[in-house]
Amino acid sequence: MNTENGHTADAEATAIIAQKVLPGREREYEEWQQGVNAAASAYAGYLGVEVAPPTSLQPEWIIVYRFDSVPHLQAWINSSTRQQLLEVGDRYLDGPGTQQVVSGHTPSHDASVTVVITHRVRPEHVEDFLAWQRRMSEEESRFEGFRGSEFFPPVDGLQDEWTTLYRFDNAEHLDAWLTSDRRRKVLAEGKDFDFDLRTVDNSFGSWFAFEENGREGPPPSVTKTAVAVWVGLYPTVVLLALATSPLGMPLWLGLLVGNLLSSFVMSFVTMPYYVNPLLRRWLRPNPDEPATRTNLIGIGIVAALLAFWVLVFYLVTTQIWTLP
């Protein structure tokens, strides 16, 4: 847990913005947000942006901007370009959005559910607040599914609140903590510290999660994402088909079971341990490397992997084993 009371100017900075969109204006909002993201990418220090649509856990659209320093993030957040874009976007939004800024660390995306909590603390109460926050962290860490927490002090010139991020592996475990007697007891101890809480669902973000996520550049494009999933899906589906074929299930049942197994294997094995490590430099290229070179290397790795699996499965299904 980060409990530093300050930050350095060159520490990486992240802005987490939540916006409610008027019903029926989602498509217009998405087009507008793409324009905002494109404008942000032109600013110095830009590392990437991620956009998460509403889910059953989060009613708002969540936009996460990453810059290499607080001054660069501040330049974008306070820019006349962004202010003009926000004036246009007001027609799509259901009220003003909220914004949290953290500095000194990149929030981890290794969990399915992330909770963002902000506290406004008077200077004379900081020490009491930090002690209370440590007590809260100790309690939540004892609950099943807890993945970790991060604690960020206010950011000069951008945000006066203290921000806490903590993560659980799924919504059920998170809800067990949020509704627990232990949490209510600790909240009562810190009744003087008002807070705002927001839940961010990262269920599919883990498919393309890397250490220090976002430092290398923006998220993979739709085309790269589709190709990467294809690279992982082909061996996964064929291996599961070979494994389940002796069961002799009818087509409709075999596909149902196979799709379920594929989803779990892709999420917990294929993507994090096979596709992401092998295609990391292509999916998240270093901005300093020529795009042509990284693309050629990535395409070469994709072609080699698929050729390997095609040969393996050809030999297995025609020379070694014939499916029933």
Taking the CB of residue 259, how many other CB atoms lie within 10 A of it?
A: 11
Claim to verify: residue 139 and residue 48 sit in the same structural domain: yes
Claim to verify: residue 37 and residue 123 sit in the same structural domain: yes
310 falls within a domain = yes
Whether 277 and 203 have beta carbons less than 8 Å apart is answered as no
**Which tens digit of pLDDT belongs to each residue from 205-222?**
444 444 443 333 455 677
pLDDT of residue 272: 83
Claim to verify: residue 53 and residue 103 sit in the same structural domain: yes
pLDDT of residue 321: 72
Predicted confidence band of residue 202 (pLDDT cuts 50, 70, 90): low
Average pLDDT, the chain: 80
6 falls within a domain = no
| Alpha-carbon torsion, ordered 48, 54, 59, 60, to 10 deg | 30
The beta strands (E) that lie in 20-159 are given as 46-52, 61-67, 98-103, 113-119, 146-152
Claim to verify: residue 140 and residue 189 sit in the same structural domain: yes
Structure tokens, 241: 């088909």
92 falls within a domain = yes
Query: Does the pLDDT at position 106 exceed 60?
Result: no
Q: How many domains does the chain have?
A: 2
Query: Can you give the pTM of this predicted structure?
Result: 0.49
5 falls within a domain = no
Claim to verify: residue 103 and residue 247 sit in the same structural domain: no
Claim to verify: residue 51 and residue 197 sit in the same structural domain: yes
Which of 229, 197, 221, 203 has its CA nearest to residue 285?
221
**Which tens digit of pLDDT belongs to each residue from 264-283?**
899 888 988 899 889 988 88
Claim to verify: residue 47 and residue 178 sit in the same structural domain: yes
Among 174, 208, 242, residue at a domain's last position: 208
Residue recorded with tokens 């974008």 = 76
Per-residue pLDDT averaged across 95-100, rounded? 77
55 falls within a domain = yes
Range of the domain at 315: 222-320
Claim to verify: residue 257 and residue 294 sit in the same structural domain: yes
Claim to verify: residue 31 and residue 107 sit in the same structural domain: yes
Among 146, 178, 208, residue at a domain's last position: 208
Predicted confidence band of residue 302 (pLDDT cuts 50, 70, 90): very high
Whether 285 and 220 have beta carbons less than 8 Å apart is answered as no
Whether 17 and 77 have beta carbons less than 8 Å apart is answered as no
Report the distance separating Cα 3 and Cα 272, nearest Å.
30
8 falls within a domain = no
Claim to verify: residue 281 and residue 187 sit in the same structural domain: no
pLDDT of residue 172: 81
CATH of residue 94: 3.30.70.100
273 falls within a domain = yes
How far from chain centre, in Å, is Cα 217? Answer: 14
Per-residue pLDDT averaged across 125-141, rounded? 86
Claim to verify: residue 233 and residue 293 sit in the same structural domain: yes
Claim to verify: residue 192 and residue 228 sit in the same structural domain: no
CB-based burial of residue 165 (10 Å sphere; 0-12 exposed, 13-18 middle, 19+ buried)?
buried
How far from chain centre, in Å, is Cα 107? Answer: 8
